[in-house]
Structure 1
Amino acid sequence: MVAYMAVLTKVVSLEGWEPYQARVADCIARNGGEYVVRRGQAQALEGSFAHDRFTLFRFPSLEAIEHFWNSAEYQNEIKPLRDGLGVLDVWAVQGVE
């Protein structure tokens, strides 16, 4: 069943994101994920939004998200590329069909 991964980002530094973004996009695609919203500007209609960017991915399942997230490639090679560049909240949620 389809699942979504939401990434809320508070940018600390605008410089240095390019290597991370290029690598993570390829890794996500290889795990069946695709962008739904890419670095969109979010507007809080109720409550607050303390982030600068909202990114949403669609995956074929929660298992596909977990496979991507826990992969050695992402954890050891890609994720470290964004260290110090921002503060992220990352959520995975089951979708409906």
Structure 2
Amino acid sequence: MVAYMAVLTKVISTEGWEPYQARVADCIARHGGEYVVRRGQARVLEGDFAHDRFTLFRFPSLEAIDRFWRSTEYQNEIKPLRDGLGVLDVWAVQGAE
């Protein structure tokens, strides 16, 4: 069943994201994921949004998100590319049937 990964980003540095973004997009695609919202600016209708960017991905399942997130490629090669560039909150959620 479809699942979504939401990434909320508070940007610390606008410089240096390009290598991470190029690599992560390919890795996500290899795990069956695709962008739904890419670095969108959120319009707050109620409550607070203490982030600068909102990104949403669709995957075939929660298991596919887990395989991506726990992959050696992502954890050891790609994720370190964003160290110090921002603070991220990342969530995975099952989609509705």
Shift of 1:44: 1.3
Q: Give the corresponding residue for 1:75.
A: 75
- Residues of 2 paired with 1:39 and 1:15: CA distance? 15
Other-structure match for 2:8: 8
Question: How large is the Cα RMSD of the aligned pairs?
Answer: 0.4
Aligned: 1:23 with 2:23: yes
In the superposition, the TM-score normalised over structure 1's length comes to: 0.99
Secondary structure of 2:13 counterpart:
coil
Q: Percent identity of the aligned residues?
A: 89
SS of the aligned residue for 2:32 comes to coil
Per-residue deviation at 1:43? Answer: 1.3
Q: What are the within-5 Å matches in structure 2 for residues 47-86 of structure 1? A: 47-86=47-86
Q: Distance in 1 between matches of 2:48 and 2:85?
A: 22
Alignment match, 2:33: 33
**Alignment deviations for residues 34-86 of structure 1 (CA, whole Å, 9 cap, x no partner):** 00000000011111000000000000000000000000000000000000000
Structure 2: tracts of 5 or more residues without a match: none
Q: Distance in 2 between matches of 1:43 and 1:84?
A: 26
Moved >4 Å (runs of 4+): none
- CA distance in structure 2 between the aligned counterparts of 1:65 and 1:46, rounded to whole angstroms: 29
Where does the alignment leave 5 or more consecutive residues of structure 1 unmatched?
A: none
Count of residue pairs the alignment pairs up: 97
1:15 to partner: Cα distance:
0.4
